[in-house]
């Protein structure tokens, strides 16, 4: 069994080449997190306090969801709000009462945007007062484009949520999880964080159950009213690579112990994630090698399609390191890993697994480019001619027209990609352009523009 | 503050970007935070553009907030100048830069000293104008800039072309069926023996703007974007323009008569009446179609119309004047264009609705219960909920409103397309209604056809958790998952299906 050692940052710096470019890249605005969070937290309502620009983005990016009476809306700021002719408190109160009357949510999330930052609207200050007045919890998250990219929006929301649950019970002392049945061993409570669809929650919970580990709760839970008890000394572990603020909040504010593990993406990642958790609880993992082998066996067809092929991550959703690591294990060669933001501490174990994977596959460790510059990247793509570029929708069609296979990165955010069961979904996505374009070869030329 | 779920018109910068990126070799730089470049996605996805959208952001982040943009914007402009060698760089303010109140004009002035390209600051205020107004203004601004530039360098040639010629002002990306409309207008002009002097802005180079005055007249097919430019050219060069939208056979004829008037005014001596007559009676099918027996059934049917002012007004005219349909109310979200809209359709419908609140529109539709709706994508969804047929006639639009096949709304072929759209909406509604009255086609219950979930022959039980899980699976694949899981459980000799078995079955099926 290969256990994951403690990560030594200096060690990593020598071996992995990190670079930082200009930050001129395309990504979704972090307010897009409302799209999946309102669906995940069933009794919530998300109020995005911003301008028409924010609204236009949500309306177009979320497409059909808009028409399904979503539990989110814009509090659209008008000129009077910007120039402080109107009272923020009164305005927000009016809208929140309307939301309360029409939708009766258990919680309202205020999503702060660039505009509320610039005009310094004191959302954190207003919320507690208004909360008391309208007797409805209000959680403030600043998911703005000044500070964050795409999936980091979820991080800001979960970090805000992490401060909410059972605040008055902070005093209660460290307690052991009481095994509810004989399937579990006795251990310090474990809480997992990261928003993933309910079926995936069940799958990962069951994987841990097979090792005798009981998951005491998930952040976020299905309903706001079911937020888990988080007590000092509890263990927490992330399932997504973009949750560094949430991790920090749980450690610093809630005094939890963070299990730094690779993320359960791909069979290799899932196994390493489970093993790390087992190690922390001093459990000898059972049957994981066999389980991983079985999954790889099922992936054989997909692996045969991508074996030896090259891939280039332009970077926009912070899943890049984990996906690259999985794809290298599956036989691909990664040219470049673009990523909006790289938390070397929170992703430490993942980086180490990447390093280890490259070593075992005997290929050079790809360069990791933080805050990439899309213009330069397109230049590099022209030179390197990778077999696949994982990129946002702004570049996908133009690259396809130049004969380069692309996969939109956004799909990895919305698809079920965690755990053993869903490894196949990742490869299904990755190989789709390759499978499709193979079939189209008969049309003739793969180039559909004369421009550079 | 306003509680809003949906908006009909986008923010101002979208309008500016639509104009800038329609021109050839013009680059727009947005002064905006990360993520505001969503325009590139829309252009690349909805219009399926093959080339990189010439829009980049000069990113506003925390540092900019603390210290101002300083050299950043200037550097970004000169960088693009070197990389792409554009003719023009348009610095585009966003809602964020409106509040930051940085002196963007100063950046433009400084940058243009070093750049080969011309540099302009789009003169639009996020909080005052919407997408269309901004696009209208930006187009005027660019045209004006290049006309003035040509005047200064004495390169402006205002001699009219020898043969009658026209500028079409109103070709741009992300507009409703625009590509097809422009093709149809070109065809119409060629039928009338009028040369096309220039089509702006889509595909046009800014260098050709100085030739605009050479045309005999301008035509502005959509009143949302292009009128300011046409008015400017009228003031500056006394160029006449036509703002009658040639949508429907009646309005197309009106438009052609106006062209005739302008040409004759310039001693061209033309008569298009015969052309109009032949087109209306024999070439286009829609006039005959409205006259045919089939369309009698549509007489007096209730319809409502909503959209941008161009399309909503034209559609109201077609429905009432060309098909005898009763438009209960017609409306537009172009609030600033209220008086024009009222003047155009005031006599044609019972009521006029001017609003950009989609909830109000939804309520009004529900109240009137029309037989058909012609509106935007939003009305299509309202219609779906209320079970009323709907034809989409105006932006805002989805990807299906960018069809590959030839689907103009303007000119004689456009009239055919619209007639089909109207007729198909109605018949579908009628069919539906008749089916309901007579209890549907299939009165016999379909037993275990294998499509749905209910195959009762299985002995296997599902525990509560797995049942709950099953209900979360989208309906169209639920049956398949259920069968696969049961088959798997049978093979494994399991009697009750648990969550674990479900996932195992999924893995096995892979």
Mutate to test the interface with B, among A112, A203, A394 (most CBs of B within 10 A): A394
Give B58 to chain A, closest Cα distance, Å: 8
The residue of chain B nearest to residue A114, with distances taken between CA atoms, is B96
Q: Is the pTM for the entire model greater than 0.80?
A: yes
Does B1 contact A24 at a Cβ distance shorter than 8 Å?
no
Residue stretches of the annotated binding site of A: 29, 54, 114
Site from A60, A88, A197 to mutate, B interface, most B CB atoms within 10 angstroms = A60
Question: Reduced to 3 states, what is the DSSP secondary structure of residue B64?
Answer: helix
* Interchain CB distance below 8 Å, A395 and B45: no
- What sign results for the dihedral spanned by CA atoms A35, A38, A41, A42? negative
Got the DSSP string for A56-90? Answer: HHHHHHSGGGGGG--SEEEEE--HHHHTT-S-HHH
- DSSP tag of A418: B
Any idea what DSSP says for residue A407?
E
Mean pLDDT of A358-387: 96
Nearest residue, CB atoms, A115 vs list B57, B99, B500 = B99
Residue B85 region by backbone torsions, left for phi larger than 0, else alpha for psi between -120 and 50, else beta = left
Q: Which residues of B are annotated as a binding site for substrate?
A: 429-430
Beta bridge partners of B303: B327, B372
**Tens of pLDDT along A245-285?**
999 999 999 999 999 999 999 999 999 999 999 999 999 99
Q: Do A59 and B126 touch (CB under 8 A)?
A: no
Q: State ipTM.
A: 0.91
**Residues of B designated as active site:** 294
For residue A15, the distance in angstroms to the closest alpha carbon of chain B comes to 30
Residue A13 has pLDDT above 70, yes or no: no
CA-CA-CA-CA torsion sign (B438, B444, B449, B455): positive
**What does the angle CA A178 – CA A184 – CA A189 come to, to the nearest 5 degrees?**
50
Judged by CB atoms closer than 8 Å, whether chains meet at A29 and B35 is answered as yes
Q: CA nearest B345: which of B368, B373, B312? A: B312
pLDDT at A179: 55
Partner-chain residue, chosen from B33, B38, B128, that has the shortest CB–CB distance to A60: B38
Q: How far B266 CA lies from chain A's nearest CA (Å)?
A: 42
Q: pLDDT digits over A37-78, tens only?
A: 999 999 999 999 999 999 999 988 877 666 667 899 999 998
Q: Is the omega angle on the peptide bond into residue B201 within 30 degrees of 0, that is, cis? A: yes
Q: How far is A245 from A236, CA to CA, in rounded Å? A: 13
Q: Return the number of CB contacts < 8 Å for A and B.
A: 179
For residue B57, what is the enclosing H or E element?
strand B55-59
Strand bridging mode B496-497 / A367-370: unpaired
Minimal CA separation from B107 to chain A, in Å: 19
Reported as type and span, the H/E element at residue B181 is: helix B178-191
Closest Cα in chain A, distance from residue B75 (Å): 12
Q: Please report residues of B whose CB lies closer than 8 A to that of A59.
A: 6-7
CB contact under 8 A, B35 and A149: yes
Q: Please state which of the ranges A8-17, A38-47, A337-346 shows the lowest mean pLDDT.
A: A8-17
CB B374 within 8 A of CB B319: yes
Q: Give the CA distances from residue A319 to residues A143, A370, B153, in Å, rounded to whole numbers and listed in that order.
A: 18, 13, 55
Calculate how close chain B gets to A59, using CA atoms only, in Å.
Answer: 7
Closest-approach residue (CA) in chain A for B66:
A118
Question: What chain A residue is nearest to B471 in terms of C-alpha separation?
Answer: A199
Residue of B nearest to A299 (CA): B510
Question: What are B130's two structure tokens?
Answer: 């919407």
Read off φ and ψ for residue A323, nearest 5 degrees: -65, -45
Q: Which chain A residues have a beta carbon less than 8 Å from that of B472? A: 198-199
**Chain B residues closer than 8 Å to A123 by CB:** none
Residue ranges of chain B whose pLDDT lies below 50:
441-456
CB-nearest to B61 from A146, A420, A421 is A146
CB contact under 8 A, B38 and A73: no
Distance from CA of A170 to the nearest CA of B (A): 32
Instruction: From chain B, pick out residues whose CB is under 8 angstroms from the CB of A143.
Output: none
Q: Do A23 and B48 touch (CB under 8 A)?
A: no
Confidence category of residue A165, pLDDT binned at 50, 70, 90: low
CB contact under 8 Å between B99 and A82, yes or no, is: yes
Report chain A residues whose CB lies below 8 A from the CB of B400.
none
For B359-376, the pLDDT digits (tens) are 899 999 999 889 999 999
Which residues of A are annotated as part of the binding site for [4Fe-4S] cluster? 29, 54, 114
Q: Report the binding-site residues of B for [4Fe-4S] cluster.
A: 36
* Whether pLDDT at A429 is above 50: yes
A86 band by pLDDT with thresholds 50, 70 and 90: confident
Chain B CB contacts of A150 under 8 Å are 35
Give the closest of B7, B11, B48 to A397, CB-based.
B48
Residue A119: list chain B partners with CB under 8 A.
Answer: 99
Chain B hits for A87, CB-CB cut-off 8 Å, are: none
| CA distances, B194 to each of B220, B348, B411 (Å) | 15, 33, 15
Asked if the model's pLDDT at residue A27 lies above 80, the reply is: yes
Q: Which two tokens stand for residue A138?
A: 């209000």
Q: Which of A23, A73, A97, A114 to mutate to test the interface with B (most CBs of B within 10 A)?
A: A114
Closest CB from B11, B44, B59 relative to A53: B11
* B234 sits in which H/E element: helix B227-237
Under an 8 A CB cutoff, do B65 and A118 touch?
A: yes
CB spacing of A29 vs B11 below 8 angstroms = no
Contact between A21 and A376 under an 8 Å Cβ cutoff? The reply is yes
Residues of B in contact with A147 (CB under 8 A): 61-62
Q: What is the pLDDT of residue A126?
A: 96
> What is the DSSP code (8-state) at residue B283?
I
Mean pLDDT of the A405-420 span: 94
Q: Is pLDDT at A167 greater than 60 in this prediction?
A: no
Q: Find chain A residues with C-beta within 8 A of B126's C-beta.
A: 51-53
Gap between the Cα atoms of B159 and B154, Å rounded: 13
Write the residue in A23, A59, A448 that is nearest to B6 by C-beta.
Answer: A59
Q: What is the pLDDT of residue B287?
A: 92
Nearest CB among A86, A294, A398 relative to B50 is that of A398
> Is the bond into B396 cis (omega within 30 degrees of 0)?
yes
Q: Distance, in angstroms, between A90 CA and closest chain B CA?
A: 10
Residue A28 has its nearest CB partner, among B35, B51, B398, at B35
Q: Do A53 and B13 touch (CB under 8 A)?
A: yes
Phi and psi at A240, nearest 5°, equal -125, 145
**Contacts with B277 (C-beta within 8 Å, 6 or more apart), sequence order:** none
B3·A99 Cβ contact <8 A:
yes
Spatial distance between the Cα atoms of A195 and A278, rounded to a whole number of angstroms? 22
Asked if the Cβ–Cβ distance from A394 to B41 is below 8 Å, we say yes
* Cα B105 to Cα A154, A389, B93, B164, distances in angstroms: 37, 38, 10, 40
| Chain A positions in Cβ-Cβ contact with residue B133 (cut-off 8 Å) | none
């Amino acid at each position: 069994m290969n256990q994951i050692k403690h990560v030594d940052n200096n060690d990593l710096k020598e071996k992995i080449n990190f670079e930082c470019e200009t930050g001129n890249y395309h990504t979704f605005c972090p307010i897009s997190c409302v799209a999946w969070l309102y669906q995940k937290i069933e009794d919530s309502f998300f109020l995005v306090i911003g301008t028409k620009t924010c609204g236009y983005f949500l309306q177009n990016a979320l497409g059909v969801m808009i028409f399904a009476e979503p539990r989110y809306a814009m509090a659209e700021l008008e000129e009077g709000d910007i120039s402080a002719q109107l009272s923020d408190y009164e305005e927000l109160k009016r809208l929140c009462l309307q939301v309360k009357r029409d939708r009766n949510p258990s919680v309202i999330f205020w999503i702060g945007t660039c505009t509320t930052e610039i005009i310094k609207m004191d959302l954190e200050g207003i919320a507690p007062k208004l909360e008391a007045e309208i007797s409805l919890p209000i959680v403030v998250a600043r998911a703005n484009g000044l500070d964050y990219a795409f999936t980091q929006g979820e991080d800001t929301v979960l970090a805000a949520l992490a401060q909410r649950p059972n605040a008055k019970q902070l005093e209660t002392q460290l307690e052991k999880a009481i095994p509810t049945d004989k399937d579990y061993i006795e251990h310090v409570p474990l809480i997992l964080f990261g928003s993933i669809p309910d079926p995936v929650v069940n799958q990962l919970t069951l994987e841990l159950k097979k090792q005798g580990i009981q998951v005491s709760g998930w952040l976020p839970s299905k309903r706001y009213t079911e937020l888990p008890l988080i007590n000092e000394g509890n263990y927490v572990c992330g399932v997504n690579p973009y949750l560094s603020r949430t991790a920090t909040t749980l450690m610093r504010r809630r005094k939890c112990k963070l299990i730094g593990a690779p993320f359960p993406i791909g069979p290799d990642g899932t196994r390493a994630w489970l093993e790390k958790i087992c190690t922390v609880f001093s459990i000898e993992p059972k049957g994981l090698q066999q389980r991983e082998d079985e999954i790889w066996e099922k992936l054989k067809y997909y692996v045969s399609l991508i074996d030896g092929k090259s891939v280039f991550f332009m970077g926009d959703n912070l899943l890049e390191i984990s996906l690259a690591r999985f794809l290298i294990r599956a036989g691909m060669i990664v040219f470049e890993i673009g990523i909006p933001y790289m938390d070397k501490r929170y992703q430490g174990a993942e980086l180490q697994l990447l390093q280890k994977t490259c070593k075992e596959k005997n290929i050079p460790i790809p360069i990791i480019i933080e805050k990439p510059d899309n213009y330069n990247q397109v230049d590099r793509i022209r030179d390197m001619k990778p077999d696949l570029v994982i990129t946002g929708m702004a570049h996908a069609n133009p690259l396809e027209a130049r004969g380069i296979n692309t996969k939109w990165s956004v799909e990895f955010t919305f698809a079920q990609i965690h755990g053993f069961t869903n490894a196949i979904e990742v490869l299904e996505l990755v190989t789709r352009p390759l499978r499709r374009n193979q079939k189209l070869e008969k049309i003739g030329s793969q180039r559909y523009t004369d421009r550079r | 503050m306003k509680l809003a779920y949906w908006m009909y018109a986008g923010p101002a910068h979208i309008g500016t970007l639509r104009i800038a990126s329609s021109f050839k070799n013009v680059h727009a730089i947005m002064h905006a935070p990360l993520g505001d470049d969503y325009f590139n996605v829309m252009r690349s996805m909805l219009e399926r553009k093959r080339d990189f959208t010439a829009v980049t952001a000069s990113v506003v982040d925390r540092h900019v907030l603390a210290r101002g943009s300083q050299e950043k914007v200037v550097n970004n402009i000169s960088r693009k100048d070197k990389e792409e060698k554009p003719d023009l760089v348009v610095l585009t303010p966003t809602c964020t830069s409106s509040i930051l109140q940085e002196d963007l004009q100063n950046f433009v002035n400084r940058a243009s000293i070093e750049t080969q390209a011309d540099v302009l600051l789009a003169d639009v205020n996020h909080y005052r104008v919407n997408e269309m107004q901004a696009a209208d203004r930006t187009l005027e601004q660019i045209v004006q800039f290049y006309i003035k530039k040509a005047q200064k360098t004495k390169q402006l040639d205002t001699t009219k072309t020898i043969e009658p010629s026209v500028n079409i002002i109103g070709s741009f990306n992300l507009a409703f069926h625009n590509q097809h409309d422009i093709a149809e207008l070109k065809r119409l002009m060629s039928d009338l023996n009028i040369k096309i002097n220039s089509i702006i802005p889509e595909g046009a180079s800014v260098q050709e703007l100085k030739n605009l005055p050479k045309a005999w007249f301008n035509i502005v097919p959509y009143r949302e974007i292009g009128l300011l430019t046409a008015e400017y050219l009228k003031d500056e060069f006394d160029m006449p323009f036509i703002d009658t939208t040639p949508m429907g056979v009646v309005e197309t004829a009106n438009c052609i008569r106006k062209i005739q008037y302008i040409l004759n005014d310039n001693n061209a001596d033309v008569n298009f009446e015969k052309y109009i007559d032949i087109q209306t009676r024999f070439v286009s099918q829609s006039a005959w179609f409205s006259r045919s027996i089939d369309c009698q059934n549509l007489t007096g049917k209730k319809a409502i119309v909503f959209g941008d002012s161009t399309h909503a007004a034209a559609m109201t005219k077609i429905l009432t004047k060309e098909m005898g349909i009763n438009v209960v109310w017609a409306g537009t979200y172009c609030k600033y264009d209220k008086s024009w809209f009222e003047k155009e359709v005031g006599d044609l419908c019972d009521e006029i609705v001017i609003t950009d609140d989609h909830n109000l529109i939804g309520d009004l539709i529900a109240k009137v219960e029309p037989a058909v709706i012609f509106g935007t994508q939003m009305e299509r969804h309202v219609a779906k909920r209320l079970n009323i047929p709907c034809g989409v006639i105006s932006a805002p639009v989805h990807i299906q409103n960018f069809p590959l096949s030839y689907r103009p709304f303007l000119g004689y072929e456009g009239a055919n397309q619209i007639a089909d759209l109207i007729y198909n909406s109605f018949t579908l509604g009628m069919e539906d209604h008749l089916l309901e009255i007579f209890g549907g086609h299939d009165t016999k219950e379909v037993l275990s056809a294998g499509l749905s979930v209910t195959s009762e022959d299985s002995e296997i039980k599902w525990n509560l958790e797995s049942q709950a899980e099953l209900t979360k699976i989208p309906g169209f694949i639920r049956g398949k998952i259920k069968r696969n899981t049961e088959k798997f459980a049978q093979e494994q000799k399991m009697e009750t299906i648990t969550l674990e078995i479900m996932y195992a079955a999924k893995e096995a099926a892979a």
